[in-house]
Structures are given as C-alpha cells and as structure tokens.
Amino acid sequence: MAPRIPLPSPEEMNEAQKAVHDKIVSGPRGTIVGPLRAALHNPALADRWQALGQVLRFETSLPLDLNELAILVTARHWNSELEWTIHARDARNAGLRETIIEAIRVCEPPNFTREEEREIYEFSRELLENGKVTDLAYSSVLDRWGPSGTVELTALVGYYSMVAMTLNAHGIPLPDHIAPELKSDPPSVTELPSLPRRAAAE
C-alpha cells in the first residue's frame, strides 16, 4: 500500500530536511523507517520528535525489555503494523520471551513469569484503554521504579500512541525487506485482556 503523502528520499530533501535526516541516521536509530519520514515535512517538528523519541526509547531508567513490552502493548492497541513489527524484533533482541510477544499479538493474556512484566503490561493497558490508571496498577510501578520510571512509562505510552497514529493516518509502509506480523485487526482495539492479580507469580 502506498503512503498517503510523499515521503522524500534524501536526494529530494531541502537543506533543513536533510540536516535533520542526517542527525537522525547518525544517532542510535541508524535509519528512518517510521513516523519521522512524515514529520520531516516540518523539519523543526521532526528534530524535536527525534530528540524525544531517543530519550524514551534508549535513555529511560526502565530495562530495555520492559520498555519494548510497553511499546508492544501500545502498538497492538492501535493496531499499528509498522510499530508492532519493528518493535517485536527489538523486543526479541532485548530478551522479551516469544510467548509474551505472541500472546499480545493475538490479544490473549500473556503468561508472565516476572511480576515487573505484569506490572508494566497492566499499567500500559489501563492507560491506553481508560486514559487513566487504577491506584493498584500505578502504585505497583511507582513502588518498583520510583517517580522517574513511572513518568517515563507514561510518556512512553503516550509517545508511541502518537507514533502509531502517525503511521496509521499517513499509511507509512513497512520497509520492503520486512514482513508484517499483525496482518489483521485485533478483535477490538480495546480488548487486550487484563490479568488476574498475582498471575505472574504462578
């Protein structure tokens, strides 16, 4: 499927766009395959976007596998094919178990073996589905990760919601060499299942 807006190649970019493009590809991302391709239509927006994304993706106090878990919950909620497929790969590389990734992909309750995974999942799911978080889900994250980690997690879910909406609205395609993993809509974008309390201890 073709994107809904033009996505200029580096050769087609103006000077301001090319400067931001070069900054992005020289950083930890190494490439531009997602929403920044659209944001480059406004170079100032793209520059600030990439700076925020770099902090939330690479520089939070949360372990990388838990960061990626929250991103996958967000991608599945919004049914964002590119966001899911890219971050499912990153989650695997970070050590998140394949059974967890697959359960989220098919909207089934993941069988968590670590309480911190269950806490991140529940916080993210509640925030996405309700726009707020229950006291229990909030205090679980706050007690383990402190104010900084709780603020970072909230920002992460919000940021990757913006990413997913941008990808979906403009039809930003997957790179040709990457096969899609979602392939179909979930039963409902609000039906990622909640978990029984203490299920992770089983």
pLDDT at 193: 72
Q: Which residues does the chain have with pLDDT short of 70?
A: 1, 183-191, 195-202
pLDDT for position 79: 93
Q: What per-residue confidence (pLDDT) applies to 186?
A: 55
Q: How many domains does the chain have?
A: 2
Q: Which CATH number fits the domain that encloses residue 113?
A: 1.20.1290.10
Distances, alpha carbon 152 to alpha carbons 54, 74, 177, 185, in Å: 12, 14, 32, 28
Residues 145 and 124 both lie in one domain: yes
The owner of tokens 């400067």 is: 19
- Per the CB < 8 A criterion, the answer to whether 199 and 109 are in contact is yes
Q: Are residues 74 and 88 in the same domain?
A: yes
Q: Are residues 193 and 136 in the same domain?
A: yes
Model pLDDT, residue 95 = 97
DSSP 190: T
> Can you give the pLDDT at residue 202?
36
**Tokens encoding 96:** 């998140």
Based on the domain organization, do 28 and 82 belong to the same domain?
no
Could you tell me if 54 and 67 lie in one domain?
A: no
Q: Which of 39, 59, 79 is the endpoint of a domain?
A: 59
Question: Backbone phi, then psi, for 66, in 5-degree steps?
Answer: -75, -35
pLDDT of residue 132: 97
How confident is the model over 59-109, as pLDDT tens digits?
999 999 999 999 999 999 999 999 999 999 999 999 999 999 999 999 999
Radius of gyration over alpha carbons of the chain, in Å? 17
Q: What is the pLDDT of residue 124?
A: 98
> Are 79 and 156 within one domain?
yes
| Helix 135-170, helix 43-58: angle, nearest 10 | 140
Instruction: Give the per-residue pLDDT at 13.
Output: 92
Q: Determine the pLDDT at residue 200.
A: 40
9 and 84 inside one domain: no
Cα–Cα distance between 151 and 149 in angstroms, integer?
5
Range of the domain at 124: 62-201
Number of H helices, E strands in the chain: 8, 0
CA dist 56 and 105 (Å) reads 22
Three-state DSSP state, 124: helix
Contact assessment for residue 71 and residue 160, using Cβ atoms and an 8 Å cutoff: yes
Position 179 scores a pLDDT of 80
Strand runs (DSSP E) across 56-105, as ranges? none
Same domain, 68 and 35: no
Residue 190 confidence (pLDDT)? 45
pLDDT of residue 146: 98
